[in-house]
Amino acid sequence: MAEKYIDLHMHLDGSITVEIAKNLGELQGITLPSQDDEELGRHLYVPEECESLNDFLNCFGLPLALMQTEKGISEAVRLVADNVQAQGVIYAEIRFAPQLHMRKGLTQEKVVLAALDGMKKTDLKCNLILCCMRGDDSAEGNKETLELAKKYLVKDGGVVAIDLAGAEALYPTSDYEELFREAASAGVPFTIHAGEAAGADSVKLAIEYGAARIGHGVRINEDPEVVELVREKKIPLEMCPTSNRMTKAVQNMKDYPLMDYLDKGIVVTVNTDDMGIENITLADEFDYLEKYFGFTDEHRKTVLRNAVGAAFTTEKVKADLIREMKL
C-alpha cells in the first residue's frame, strides 16, 4: 500500500514544480526563461551556493511572477494540491502571502478569493494559511492580511490561520508582537516561522504571543529552557529537513535534532516547506530520515499522529484522517 502523508507547512510559491511552472506560463501567455525542463529547473531550484535563508528567499522570483493574476493563483493552488495528492498527501495546509501577489494590480482580497477558488477545484482535502511578511514595508500589508483572515476564517474548508514568513535574521519576531496580540484577541489561530534563521528566543516570543504551532523551531536546542517550554506546552514544530539543510538553519545535518526532539516527546511534524524550489517530495523527506537517522515505522506513525493533532481543522476531519491513515 502506498504511504499516506500530511503536509502542514508548504508555501504555494515554493511548491511550483517545473511542470506546474510550464502550465502556469502557458495559461497566462508568460514566456519562461527556458522551454527545456532541465534548464528551467536550473532557474527554479535553489542553487548549491545557497548560504542562508536570505539567499533562499531570493529563489521565489520566478514562481511569484507566475501568480499575479486570479487565474494564475487559482490554477496554482489547484495544480499544487493535485500534485501533492498524486504523491500520497491526503491533507495539506497551503500557505501564501497575499501581499506578494499584487504586482499586476490585484488586491489582497482578490488574491485570497482566487486561492479559495483553486481550492474548490481540487479533490485534495486542504486548507489555507495566510502569511504575513517580515520586512521593512510590510506593516500595512500585514494588518490587511490579518483583517482578511478575520473576515474569511473558517474551522475547515478555507482560511484557517495566519503565519509570519520572511527573513527572520533581519526582522526579529519582537517587531510583530502587536500584530499577533491582535490575532490572538480576535481568535485567529497562528503559526510563526521561528527558530530557523534566529535562535531559541524567537520561538519563546512566538509562544508568548500565542502561536499554536512553530514553523521550523529547529534551533530551540540553543536554549534548554525553550526545549522544555515547547515540550511542556506541547507546541507542534513544523520541521522541514531539506529546507533547513539548504538555508543552513543547521550547519551540519549530522547534528539535525529531529530525532532528539522526538525522543524527548516534543510534538514533531515533518513537512516540505518549498518542494518546488527544493526539488523534493514529502515522501523524499521521510525516506531521508529513514536512511540517515534511524527513523522507524513507529516514528512515522508518531509524526503523522502529531500532524493530525496539530492541523488547523475540525475534530471530525482529524478523526477521518486518523481512520484513513490507520493510525
Phi, psi angles (nearest 5°) of residue 165:
-120, 180
Residues in region 31-60 near ligand HPA by CB under 6 A: 53
Nearest to Zn ion of 7, 273 (CB atom)? 273
Other CB atoms closer than 10 Å to residue 48's CB: what's the count?
A: 6
The closest residue (CB) to Zn ion is 273
Q: Is 273 in the site for Zn ion (CB under 5 A)?
A: yes
Tell me the Ramachandran region of residue 106: left when phi exceeds 0, alpha when psi lies from -120 to 50, beta otherwise. beta
Choose the catalytic residue: 75, 93, 196, 285.
196
Of the residues 15, 68, 108, 243, which one makes contact with ligand HPA according to CB under 6 A: 243
CB of 312 to Zn ion, least distance (A): 15
Q: Is 93 in the site for Zn ion (CB under 5 A)?
A: no
Partner from ligand HPA, Zn ion, none contacting 218, C-beta within 5 to 8 A by type: none
SS3 236: coil
CB of 225 to ligand HPA, least distance (A): 24
Any idea how long the chain is? 327
d(CA 325, CA 321): 6
User: In the numeric block, which cell numbers belong to residue 177?
Assistant: 508582537
Nearest to ligand HPA of 231, 245 (CB atom)? 245
Partner from Zn ion, ligand HPA, none contacting 14, C-beta within 5 to 8 A by type: ligand HPA
User: Angle between the 139-152 and 108-120 helix axes, to the nearest 10 degrees?
Assistant: 40
Going by DSSP bridges, is the β-strand pair 125-133/89-96 parallel, antiparallel, or unpaired?
parallel
- Structural element, H or E, at residue 213: strand 213-216
Catalytic annotation on 196? Answer: yes
**Residues near ligand HPA, by CB under 6 A:** 11, 14, 53, 165-166, 193, 196, 243, 273-274
- Please list the active-site residues: 196
**Residues near Zn ion, by CB under 5 A:** 273
